[in-house]
Structure formats: C-alpha cells, structure tokens
Chains A and B, each alone.
Chain A
Amino acid sequence: MFKKLGLAAAAFALSASTSLAATEVTWWHAMGGELGKKLEEIATKFNESQSEYKVVPVYKGSYPETLTAAIAAFRANQQPAIVQVFEVGTGTMMAAKGAVYPVYKLMKDEGESFEPKSFLGPVVGYYSDTQGNILSLPFNSSTPILYYNKDVFKKAGLDPEVAPKTWKEVEEFSKKIVTSGAAKCGFTSAWITWVQTENLSAIHDQPFGTLENGFGGLKTQFSFNGPVQQKHWANLKKWQDEGLFKYGGPVGGDNAATMFYAQECAMTMNSSAGRAGVINNAKTFTPGFAPLPYYDDVTKEPKNSIIGGATLWVLNGKDKATYKGVAKFFSYLSKPEVQADWHQYTGYLPITNAAYDLGKSQGYYAKNPGSDIAIEQITRGTPSANSKGLRFGNFTQVRTIVDEEFQSLLAGKKDAKQALDSAVERGNKLLREFEAANN
C-alpha cells in the first residue's frame, strides 16, 4: 500500500511536469552506472531526432525491483509505457496477457516495419510465442563465455593462446595450473544457475523442462535432473574437493569476478557483458576469451548457448498517441547504428543481423579480439527445442532453489542426484502454483 501511494505520488509529480508540446513516453529501466548513462544518451538522441515524442527514462533499481515496481504501478493504474524486464521475468510477463501489449501487434497497429527475421534467431526465439510472434523488444542480451588468464597459463606451462575446449581439458589445465602453483585455483564461475545448469543443458541438447522448456504451455515440468546435468554437478563437487574449482557465491556469484581479477583463479565463466569489466580490471595480466567448454563424450557438436539480459515490454492502458511514440522509438532502437553502438559500448550482443554486419564492416571485431565469441557461440548450429530458451513461471524463485541445492551439494549434504532431484521437485511445486494463479 505504501508503495502504491508512493508510486502514485511520483507518477503525479511526473505528469505535472509534462511539457505540453511533446507526447511523453515513460521508460522504466534497471541499468545503473555506465550502462544507465549510455541508455539515457540513446533516449536523448531519439528525442533530439524528432519533436513529437519525448522518451523519459527512469531508473528503478535492480531487475527484480523494476519488475515489481512496474507491477505495483500497473495495479494502481500508474504504469509506464515501456518497462525493461529481465529474462527470468519473461514467463511472468507472457502469462499476464491483459497487462501486456505485444510488440509485434503494436508495430503492426502503428504501421511501423518490424521484421522478425532481421533479429538474431536465438535472441528473438526466447521472446516469441509459439506462433513466432515477438512479444517484447530485445534490448540487452548476453550469453556466458569463458574468460582466462593468459599469464597464468604461461606460468603453468600451457599455451596462452589455447583455451580449453572441453570440460576434460578444463580439468587437465586446472590440474596443471594448481600443481605448478601458477594460481591457487583452476576455475570459478558466475551464475551457477544460468551458466552451469541452464546453458549446460542447452549446449548439450538436454531438456531443462518438458513441453519444449516451457514454450509449449503452463503444464511444463522441470527435467534438469538428467544424466548430463548430474554428471556435471558431480564433477563440480569433485573439482571443488580437489581444489580445482572455487565457488563464487549464489545468484550472480560476485566473488567469481573478484577471484579472477585477483589472479586467484585462472579461469572464470561469466556473461559476455562482463567483458568490459574484465578488460578494465585485468591491469596486471592479459585476459583471453573463449566459448564455454562442453563434454565431448556427450556431444561432438555443441548447440548454441542461451541468452540472459532483458527486453522491453509495452504495458496496456496508455493512449493511442503514446503507443505511436513507443512504436517510433522501437524502430529507432532497432536501427543498425544505434544497436551497434550499444553492443560495442556495453558488451551485450548485437540484436539484429544488420548491427552485427555493421560492426564487421567497421572492423570492430578485428580490432577487439574475443568480442565476437559470444555471437558465434549463440548463433552456431540450428537451435533445438532444448536450446532455444527457457520459459517458466516463478523462475526467479526457481533459480534461488537451484542455488540452494548447489550449496547443499558443495557443503557435502547431498550428492549431485539428490540435489538436482530435490531442485526439480521443489521447482515443480512453484510451476504448479504459477499454473494455478494464471489460469
């Protein structure tokens, strides 16, 4: 109630200051720091490019905070026109049919050209319904890659230009690194849920859940306790006991980056959007970039990895003029030069093929080695039902559960099978809860 009153007051204050000339389009986002500045720059440039509409970006805190704020505002009928929602909130947004104005429909209604084929397949697939209609506009998408320390590799007697391709090599390299004393630990990882469970499943073409990973409807059940996931979790536990792997903490695993920067761990796995951070923090060593490793006894042809990040959702309940402005702004955002600028500045993926091509013709990837690894990894092969993405309700909570079970595994309270079985069982309860609430 507090929140609603506060929001109402804030919204009132905002509307009172609206200039009369231009139609205002509010955009709630979750980009702080440098990313936020860049985002505001994009909005300013759009506002300067025409005089009819004014996009007003408002920073609302973290991803969950932004989503919750938008939902509370919607309930109080004070919602913004555009809200940035992270990928785990996709299931929640898609189920809220009465609250969301699907992007494909908006663009059609407003007569703006919108071609799904111009977007990168795995990015757009994550945010389309089963008929292939795009429901939200991809904005900032990333995918995990492997970062390694070339200096430590050299010290350990490894070729600094060769990154491990398979998990077997990760193990071998880590052993060499630890026994030679080049670093205290072989590798760490951010986002155990996203990188070591969700992406692991996609890359090895293993289902994360039934009904095409939840794309097929709310009746989906989790199935990420399969043999490959079990084997991987058991390995991580084994490698932790042997001192090859170090845990970076729950959720985003903040300690992973710290341990990598401090040269305590020779390798880390993290979002491609972490590239700028790695370059800025790797003052005393040369970082290398590589695709995520895979098990070559499971697959010879690893599938594409899946994305993280956020998209822009349009909320219902605004007037026609506002939606016209939203459509114009979305067309502007999808322009190759705007996309390429955002992608090159932040390390997020280029969303459209045109932006990727523009970067190529500008010579960006040649000048910045490793900056195209994420794009190559996400576009390799043909996406299968297991690698096109995930769509589950209550997924924020499910990720918490996966984190908890992983901690139980590392603490020795459960083995890999027990931990994964328990995560699936607890997760399924949340799926049923979500199904019941959205029917």
Chain B
Amino acid sequence: MDTKKTTFNNRLLPYLLLAPQLFITLVFFIWPAAQAVKSSFEREDPFGLSTVFVGLLHYERLFDDPNYLDALSRTAVFAVSVTALSMLLGLAFAASVDRLVRSGKVYTTLLVWPYAVAPVVAGVLWWFLFNSSTGLMPFFLEKIGIHWDHDLNGTQAMILIIIAAAWKQVSYNFLFFLAGLQSVPQSLMEAAAIDGSGPVKRFWTISLPLLSPTTFFLFIINVNYTMFDTFPIVDATTVGGPAQATTTLVYKVYQDGYLGLNLGSSSAQSVLLMLIVMVLTFVQFRYVERRVQY
C-alpha cells in the first residue's frame, strides 16, 4: 500500500485543533471528577458552611457497610444479566433481519424504536405493564400461578429492572450487530455454502468470529451503560426497593448524595464507581482484546 505522507510544519496547529476537545474534557470531566475526589475526603454540611478533612473515613465506612457491599454484588448481577440479555437478543434479531431481503428495512426501523424512547419513559412503561394492582402482566402471570408483586418481592423487582434496562439496549446492540453482519464478505459465505455448510454452521463458523470486534465493543458499551445510564429506569420503576433489592451503585450515589445530602459519602461512592469502571475497561482492553480478531 502506498500512502501519501502529509506534513504540517506549524507546531501550534495540532494543539489548536485539539483545544476545543481538551477544553470540554477538562471542564466537564476532569474538573468534576477532581471535585468528587476532593470531597470524598471531607465531611461537610449540605450548605458548605463547615468542611472538615476526614481522610479515608468515608471509604472505611463504605466497606464496613453491608448495604454497600450488597449493592456492589447486586450491581454485578444486574450488569451481567442486562449485558447478556440485551446482547443475545440484539444478535438474534440482527441475524434474523440479515436474512431478510425486502422487509429488512422495515424490521430495522421498528427494532430501533426502543432506543429513541427516553430511559424514564421506558421505566414508566414497564412499571405500568408490571404494576401489581393495575398492570397487564401480573394479571396474566396470576393465571399461570405466579403472584407478581415487585413492591415486596425483591427478586421480581430485579427481574423487572433487568427487563426494562435490557429492552432499552437491545436496539443499540441490534444495529451494531446488523452492520457487523452486513460487512461479512459475501464471497466467504458463498464459498462455505458451496462447500456444503448450512446457514447455522455458516453463522457459527464465519459470521460470529468475524463479529468479535463488534461484540467486544458492545460488551464494554453495555457494561458502562448498566453501570451509569440505568439510573432513570431504576428511579421510575422500583425506586431502588423493595428493601434495597434494586439499589445499584449508581442509584445509591443518588440516594445518599442527592436525597440524603451526604456529599462526602456520595462522592466516595462515585470515586469507587469510577475506579470500578476504569479497571473493567482496562481489563477488557488488555486481556479480552488479545483474543479478538480484527
């Protein structure tokens, strides 16, 4: 391959071009993050009238707090379930639509719709469907002998937010998987077909391995999504209850900081959340990426 090499002699230009992005990153990401780190070491009244440096007190308290440790494992369950469910469904839908020639566009449009629904609205929608006194689903579930009451049953509440959060994310995964599938070289598929392998075999041995970069990318995006962006869904469906059964880490940050005005502990929690996501992303890039074939 021959590439044309362009050189820029102006040394300032690259920095100038980078400046807007750097500025935004600094103001909207680095600065607030630094503030959070700072206040996680302080004890302060809500109005900021008195501030005392307390060192690692908030962190020590958190790791002594069974509620926090529960929220940690609960978030893991939630993240894994939502990611697995939404990626599997997204892949299944993409594989189905990919085989359609004429109606493919219609299905694509329809399947993307949930992504356009705001998370709060998605939450309220599922809340209505599963409302124990007026909802449609509990009515049908009762007929097959399942008593649905996510106001009291923690497991059911968890299932509800997993469904709502996964439903919202299926569209996104679907789109990326579909694009991935469509970029699988047709010649490979044809060659395999001539060699006598059926559609299922072709999917497993050709499409899926070629999709691995997409899968890897989506995996990171989905984990981040469940860690941070599912707050509105929890808030609109279960408010973290019953008895904290759906209080995920990000929801606990909100409860303690925004409702409880305990800024120190809330900041410490956001810092920990930030670290968790950083470590996860690092691990994913470092170890998972090695096995990904680009």
Q: Are B241 and A250 in contact (CB under 8 A)?
A: yes
Q: Interface digits, A259-271 against B, CB 8 Å rule (1 contact, 0 not)?
A: 1001010000000
Question: Given known contacts A64-B258, A400-B259, A405-B243, is B47 in contact with A255 (CB within 8 Å)?
Answer: no
Interface of B is mostly: loop
Q: Which listed residue (A96, A396, A404, A413) contacts B49, Cβ 8 A?
A: A96
Q: Which listed residue (A2, A394, A430, A437) contacts B44, Cβ 8 A?
A: A437
Whether, in the assembled complex, B7 has its beta carbon less than 8 Å from a beta carbon of chain A, the answer is no
Whether, in the assembled complex, B46 has its beta carbon less than 8 Å from a beta carbon of chain A, the answer is yes
Provide the residues of chain A in CB contact with B46, threshold 8 Å: 71, 92, 96
Whether, in the assembled complex, B154 has its beta carbon less than 8 Å from a beta carbon of chain A, the answer is yes
Q: Which listed residue (B132, B133, B154, B256) contacts A397, Cβ 8 A?
A: B256
Whether, in the assembled complex, B242 has its beta carbon less than 8 Å from a beta carbon of chain A, the answer is yes
Determine how close the nearest CB of chain A comes to the CB of B261; give it in whole angstroms. Answer: 6
Q: Enumerate A352-408 residues with CB–CB distance to B below 8 Å.
A: 394, 396-397, 400, 403-405, 407-408
Q: Enumerate B240-268 residues with CB–CB distance to A below 8 Å.
A: 240-244, 255-256, 258-262, 264
Q: Are B258 and A255 in contact (CB under 8 A)?
A: no
Provide the residues of chain A in CB contact with B48, threshold 8 Å: 74-75
Q: Which listed residue (A247, A262, A404) contacts B134, Cβ 8 A?
A: A262
Q: Are A411 and B239 in contact (CB under 8 A)?
A: no
What's the Cα separation between A366 and B48 when bound, in Å? 50
Determine how close the nearest CB of chain A comes to the CB of B60; give it in whole angstroms. Answer: 13
Determine how close the nearest CB of chain A comes to the CB of B192; give it in whole angstroms. Answer: 52
Q: Which listed residue (B49, B153, B242, B264) contacts A250, Cβ 8 A?
A: B242
Q: Are B154 and A411 in contact (CB under 8 A)?
A: yes
Whether, in the assembled complex, A249 has its beta carbon less than 8 Å from a beta carbon of chain B, the answer is yes
Whether, in the assembled complex, A438 has its beta carbon less than 8 Å from a beta carbon of chain B, the answer is yes
Q: Are B243 and A68 in contact (CB under 8 A)?
A: no
Whether, in the assembled complex, A33 has its beta carbon less than 8 Å from a beta carbon of chain B, the answer is no
When C-beta atoms are compared, the residue in chain A nearest to B134 turns out to be: A258
Of B27-35, B102-110, B165-173, the stretch lying at the interface with chain A is B27-35
Residue of B32, B35, B261 with most partner-chain A CB within 10 A: B261
Whether, in the assembled complex, A298 has its beta carbon less than 8 Å from a beta carbon of chain B, the answer is no
What size tier do the contact residues of chain A reach?
A: 35 or more
Interface of A is mostly: helix
- Tally chain B residues at the interface, Cβ within 8 Å: 34
Q: Are B43 and A436 in contact (CB under 8 A)?
A: yes
Q: Which listed residue (A74, A249, A397) contacts B151, Cβ 8 A?
A: A249
Q: Are B152 and A411 in contact (CB under 8 A)?
A: yes
A-B contacts, CB under 8 A, total: 93
Determine how close the nearest CB of chain B comes to the CB of A355; give it in whole angstroms. Answer: 33
Q: Are B262 and A411 in contact (CB under 8 A)?
A: no
When C-beta atoms are compared, the residue in chain A nearest to B151 turns out to be: A249
Residue of B35, B44, B239 with most partner-chain A CB within 10 A: B239
Q: Are B242 and A411 in contact (CB under 8 A)?
A: yes
What's the Cα separation between A159 and B156 when bound, in Å? 40
Provide the residues of chain B in CB contact with A67, threshold 8 Å: 261
When C-beta atoms are compared, the residue in chain A nearest to B46 turns out to be: A71
Determine how close the nearest CB of chain A comes to the CB of B108; give it in whole angstroms. Answer: 35
Q: Are A1 and B32 in contact (CB under 8 A)?
A: yes
Whether, in the assembled complex, B131 has its beta carbon less than 8 Å from a beta carbon of chain A, the answer is yes
Whether, in the assembled complex, A98 has its beta carbon less than 8 Å from a beta carbon of chain B, the answer is yes
Provide the residues of chain A in CB contact with B152, threshold 8 Å: 247, 407, 410-411
What's the Cα separation between A410 and B258 when bound, in Å? 28
Q: Are B243 and A413 in contact (CB under 8 A)?
A: yes
Q: Are B134 and A407 in contact (CB under 8 A)?
A: no
What's the Cα separation between A255 and B132 when bound, in Å? 9
Q: Interface digits, A290-313 against B, CB 8 Å rule (1 contact, 0 not)?
A: 000000000000000000000000
Whether, in the assembled complex, A433 has its beta carbon less than 8 Å from a beta carbon of chain B, the answer is yes
Provide the residues of chain A in CB contact with B49, threshold 8 Å: 96-99
What's the Cα separation between A403 and B242 when bound, in Å? 8
Provide the residues of chain A in CB contact with B50, threshold 8 Å: 437-438
What's the Cα separation between A2 and B131 when bound, in Å? 35
Whether, in the assembled complex, A95 has its beta carbon less than 8 Å from a beta carbon of chain B, the answer is yes
Whether, in the assembled complex, A251 has its beta carbon less than 8 Å from a beta carbon of chain B, the answer is yes
What's the Cα separation between A71 and B48 when bound, in Å? 9
What's the Cα separation between A64 and B255 when bound, in Å? 11
Q: Which listed residue (A95, A249, A407) contacts B45, Cβ 8 A?
A: A95
Q: Interface digits, B226-238 against A, CB 8 Å rule (1 contact, 0 not)?
A: 0000000000000
Q: Which of B's residues lie within 8 Å of A, judged by CB?
A: 28, 31-32, 35, 43-50, 131-134, 151-154, 239-244, 255-256, 258-262, 264
Interchain Cβ contacts under 8 Å between A and B, 7 examples:
A68-B259, A71-B46, A75-B47, A250-B241, A251-B239, A259-B133, A400-B255
